[in-house]
């Protein structure tokens, strides 16, 4: 399993690129992961999604699907794809430091 130094922390990732320990996450780590996956800057709307993803994971043991994310975060699907191109639920989960949501390919 790869270990990367992000925001001054050694963080272990699984083979799919998701953090092994979501408790190591913070906004600085999120910004560095985002840059590595092609999102050069995170704004307030990004963090609305990321914080919702983390909350859902802590409550349910998995991140929300794209459908649940749209309904429950209050951010429309079109905007999710603008914020997190090419698979918003999976990409947002990666940046949020949580495992890949169930049902994501």
CA–CA distance, 23 with 7 (Å, rounded to integer): 14
User: pLDDT value at position 73?
Assistant: 86
Mean pLDDT in order along the chain per 10 residues (105 residues)? 89 94 96 96 96 94 87 92 92 95 66
Give the CA dihedral 83, 87, 92, 97, nearest 10 degrees.
-150
Q: Decide if 54 is inside a domain.
A: yes
| CATH number of the domain residue 77 falls in | 1.10.10.370
Predicted local confidence at residue 104, as pLDDT: 61
Query: Distances from the Cα of 89 to the Cαs of 3, 19, 44, in angstroms?
Result: 23, 15, 17
Question: The domain containing residue 56 runs over which residues?
Answer: 3-96
Which of 4, 7, 35, 104 is flagged as catalytic? 104
Report yes or no on 91 lying in a domain: yes
What secondary structure letter does DSSP report for 104? -
Q: Look at residue 70 and tell me if it is in a domain.
A: yes
- DSSP secondary structure code for residue 22 in this structure: G
Q: Indicate if 104 belongs to the active site.
A: yes
Count up the domains in the chain and report the number: 1
Residue 26 inside a domain? The answer is: yes
């Amino acid at each position: 399993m790869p270990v990367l130094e992000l925001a001054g922390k050694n963080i272990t990732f699984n083979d799919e690129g998701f953090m092994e320990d979501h408790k190591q996450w913070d906004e600085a780590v999120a910004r560095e992961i985002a840059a590595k996956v092609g999102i050069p800057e995170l704004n307030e709307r990004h963090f609305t999604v990321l914080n919702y993803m983390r909350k859902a994971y802590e409550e349910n043991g998995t991140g929300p699907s794209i459908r649940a994310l749209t309904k429950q975060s209050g951010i429309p699907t079109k905007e999710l794809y603008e914020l997190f191109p090419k698979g918003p639920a999976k990409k947002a989960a990666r940046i949020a430091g949580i495992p890949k949501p169930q049902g994501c390919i």
